[in-house]
Amino acid sequence: MKSSTLQLRKISLIEYLLGIQDEKVFAKVESNIHKSIKSVKPGDIILSKDELIERAEFSNKQIKKGHVLNQKDLEAQSKNW
C-alpha cells in the first residue's frame, strides 16, 4: 500500500474519531485499537524498501532539528507503552 493512501486512511479515521459523541462507542473503538496494537508482533510488520527509506529520511530530519530523546527520557517514556 502506498504511503499516501495510508495517510489518507489515517486522516479519515481521525475525522471519524473526532465525530464520535457517544462515550460508550468511543470506549469500544479505543479498546479494540489497544487490543490490536498489543497483538502485533515486531515480526508481523513488513515494510517495503520505499517505506524504509522514507522512515530513515524522516528520522534524519528529526535528528537535524534536534527532536531527539536521551536514553533516560526514552526509558521513562517507554514505561507508559
For residue range 52-73, what is the model confidence (pLDDT) as tens digits? 999 999 999 999 999 998 899 8
Total-model pTM: 0.45
Based on C-alpha coordinates, what's the Rg of the chain?
A: 16
Confidence of residue 38 (pLDDT cuts 50, 70, 90): confident
Question: CA–CA separation, 32 vs 15, rounded Å?
Answer: 17
Question: CA–CA separation, 2 vs 10, rounded Å?
Answer: 13
For the chain, percent of residues with pLDDT exceeding 90: 52
In the chain, alpha helices (H): 3-19, 23-39, 49-65, 71-78
∠21-23-24 over CA atoms, to 5°? 120
